[in-house]
Structure 1
Amino acid sequence: MHLLAASTQRNLGMAIAVVAIVGFAIYLIYNVLWAGRGEKGSELELAPNRKPYLSDEKLETSKLDLALVSGLVTLVIIGVALPLYWLGEPGRQQGYLEDSRRQFTSRGAGLFEESCSSCHGGGGLGGNTDHTITDDSGNFIAAIKWDVPALTTTLYRFSEEEVRHILNYGRPPTPMQAWGAPGGGPLTTQQVDELIQYIQSIQLDPDELQGEVLDGLVLQVRDDVLTANSDLSDRLDEANEAVADAGADEAAAEAAARQVAVLEVELREASEQYLRNLASPDRGELLFNNGVYGCARCHTPRDSWQFTGPETEPGAGPEELTKGSLEEAEMIAQLGNLIPADIPGGGGFGPNLTNGATLRQFDSAEGHVGFVIIGSQEGVGYGNFGQGDGGGQMPAFGVCVGDRDSSERSAIHGFCTLEDGSDRPGMLSEDQIQDIVAYERGL
């Protein structure tokens, strides 16, 4: 809209300018080529002062009127064109901002694919990377595979300044290293801004975000729902077997696939109903353990990574060990006290929430809920590795945060404001946060 307005006003101004220039050119041509008469003969034969000039009646009527009208038209053109030009200035500024934003997003996308996609995945959809666990002296303990989060919801939890701090200084002890020049990284301040602009461009819409949260919960209860609905489970197994047995028979495969899709919809509805029937702390546990949308990633040891097994043969790479497998249990036993116990809420990047820690910190559930909604205070260290000056806060899970110091809720570029002017919601609803708090206060 702003670009359209700026373009219309600019085109109108250009048209007026062209009319003024053409009019002036016609005036000059008329006076030089047509109105003036060339000199005939020498000065002795016909001196210029002997040339008959216009009469007073001519000068003071049509000639004077023409001059006055020409001046008036010129003034009108100037008087109209300049205000129109000034009126278009806000639109031109907005157009410049939007064009700069597009350029930053494009360059940021290139930087992301070059520097970040190997860990965070193409398009920031998440991935994993090799990492090592060391003791306080820097000695090697174990090789792990770190689950790197998707970035499509980052600005729902962190302000732009917090993301900038993390990009500049990294996030120890995670694999996230310092990328910005202030932290010793290779990227300039502008390149960090370009990355942030790209990250903003890939954020999910609020409806998509809530769908992702619900998908994670449904996935967690899938087995329980199938166990409770044996008939649905049997029909789904038969439909999947029919897909496998169809082979090259395209018609049979398509019919079986349609049946699977119908049963998956039925399973989805049953799962959502199952979630609604759960007690608040039970739903809270599922939300707590809901990957990047939950709390366990920071508050439960080893939730965001898994061990890498020993080499299977000389020259072969390590294998990933399945969480909870016998091989992983053996490795944990060998490492003894060198790694933390995998206790839900036992503390990792974030503090320990067990043994009544949340009850001592918050006198009431309402205060606890408010803290999870807004997050911790800017500049105040939080958790076991929180820097406290931009990159170590408890994220805001219930509001779209701007500058925490000023308690604003609208980030730069208006990310926290939707097109209709309303505030963008947080990553989780208040009801979901209340469920999480009910679970945490029972740890």
Structure 2
Amino acid sequence: MQDLYLLAIAQKTIGYVIAVLLLIAFVVAIAINVRKGRAEVGSEVELAPNRKPYMNDEELETKKLDRTLGLGLVALGVIALTLPLYWLAEPGRQEGMVERFEDVAISRGEEIYVNGAQCAGCHGPKGIGGVASYTILDPVTGAYVDQVQWKSPALDTIMYRYTPEQVTYILNYGRGYSPMPAWGAPGGGPLTEQQIAEVIAYLTSIQLPAAESQLAVQKELDKTCAADADNNCTIPGGMYKTLGEAVFNLGYSDGFAGGAYSCGRCHTTGWSFGQAKVAGGGAMGPNLTGGSEIRQFPVAAQQEAFVSAYPKMGTAYGTAGWSSGRMGSFGTNPNAQDPKTAIMNPDQVMLTPAQIAAVVAYERSL
């Protein structure tokens, strides 16, 4: 302890000595400069520019003044002409910057989708849908049950039915009891808020044109049902009896769009990995059987409106429903309602009114 005290004293003394030496050097430097600055006026070889005679008053107030005022007037004229031109081009510059900002966001989002988070590994290139290997565990004991290939939904129509806020929630927290983990920081994932926004920007950029989506759905229904005028399927030995049942199970047998257009993906246990249990018996989505839909929606038109445009989270629906915000809108695009803020077109919807009416009729029969 004594040694440390002596060391501290020595360091303090050295500091004082250095400070005094610096102060002395500073005083000496000032003295030398003051002494040099006392040279006799006029002793310099050439007069400094600020001591040379300048123009007389007559010249200053005529030629010099006129020339200076003339140059000032020219400068004012240039400013008066160029500033409005600059202002006129400002909206274009702002639009260009917005476009550049969006392009950069899309590029970064694609990088995350393909290489960073590797979303393409499950959802396919350009979000066309795919499969993911998934281990099913017993929800009570946690024991191994099965290893399955889970249909991963196509994302090239995700903005048809979900708002950016809904997609953000899904990316942040994932989907429980499925291969979809939490990717956002709020859910414990690795992606920041900005990276999630960039992924959504990329997903928005790859949404299918309305005509292409509708054609693909109709082609799939023709293959699995080929409904007649009464919405009864006409394919001999086919899996489905009615158009509504076929719509409910779109993609179950062949993985079309990873089940993105279907209802069974959320409302039927085992649907996503080809081991469907009771149709509409409930999974992530509620049980639709036993007349529950008729009790919730006494009139079919109410249910059709509900499926078409799912109410916002915290909004009442039906006779006793309360929206959780998890379901998408299948007949109305939530991102095309306000022309000022729309990021999609009104015709970019999952199902037609006739298809929605058919699937509602099927659900009400369960």
TM-score normalised by length of structure 1: 0.59
RMSD: 3.3
- Identity over aligned residues, as a percent? 42
Please tell me the residue identity of whatever aligns with 1:120. Answer: H
Q: Out of 99, 124, 127, which is 1:124 matched to?
A: 127
5 Å matches for 1:246-261?
Answer: none
Shift of 1:440: 1.7
Partner of 1:100: 101
Shift of 1:395: 1.0
Work out whether 1:279 is the aligned partner of 2:231: yes
Work out whether 1:179 is the aligned partner of 2:183: yes
CA distance in 1, matches of 2:54, 2:327: 94
User: CA distance change for structure 1 residues 126 and 275 in 2, over 3 Å: closer, same or farther?
Assistant: same
Please tell me the residue identity of whatever aligns with 1:350. Answer: G
CA distance in 2, matches of 1:368, 1:106: 40
User: CA distance change for structure 1 residues 69 and 429 in 2, over 3 Å: closer, same or farther?
Assistant: farther
User: Retained in 1: the 8 A contact 2:330–2:349?
Assistant: yes
TM-score normalised by length of structure 2: 0.71
Q: Out of 252, 264, 289, which is 1:296 matched to?
A: 264
Please tell me the residue identity of whatever aligns with 2:222. Answer: V
Shift of 1:195: 0.8
CA distance in 2, matches of 1:131, 1:411: 41
**Deviation per residue, 1:347-395 (Å, 9 max, x gap):** 222112122111000011111111001114314699xxxx976xx5221
Highest Rg: 1 or 2? 2
User: Retained in 2: the 8 A contact 1:180–1:192?
Assistant: yes
Please tell me the residue identity of whatever aligns with 1:401. Answer: P
Q: Out of 294, 299, 303, which is 1:368 matched to?
A: 303
Please tell me the residue identity of whatever aligns with 1:176. Answer: M
CA distance in 1, matches of 2:310, 2:103: 31
CA distance in 2, matches of 1:49, 1:434: 95
For residue 409 of structure 1, give the secondary structure of its aligned residue in structure 2.
coil
Partner of 1:439: 362
Which blocks of at least 5 consecutive residues in structure 2 are unaligned? Answer: 1-51, 233-240, 252-259
Work out whether 1:357 is the aligned partner of 2:292: yes
Higher normalized helix content (fraction of residues): 1
CA distance in 2, matches of 1:428, 1:82: 53
5 Å matches for 1:88-237?
Answer: 88-114=89-115, 115-137=118-140, 138-221=142-225
Shift of 1:66: 6.7
**Deviation per residue, 1:61-87 (Å, 9 max, x gap):** xx9887666444322221222222223
**Deviation per residue, 1:6-61 (Å, 9 max, x gap):** xxxxxxxxxxxxxxxxxxxxxxxxxxxxxxxxxxxxxxxxx98999x87x9xx59x
Partner of 1:11: none
Shift of 1:162: 0.6
Please tell me the residue identity of whatever aligns with 2:250. Answer: N
What is the number of equivalent residue pairs in this alignment?
A: 293
Which blocks of at least 5 consecutive residues in structure 1 are unaligned? Answer: 1-46, 222-273, 308-340, 403-407
Partner of 1:399: 332
Partner of 2:350: 427
User: CA distance change for structure 1 residues 49 and 183 in 2, over 3 Å: closer, same or farther?
Assistant: closer
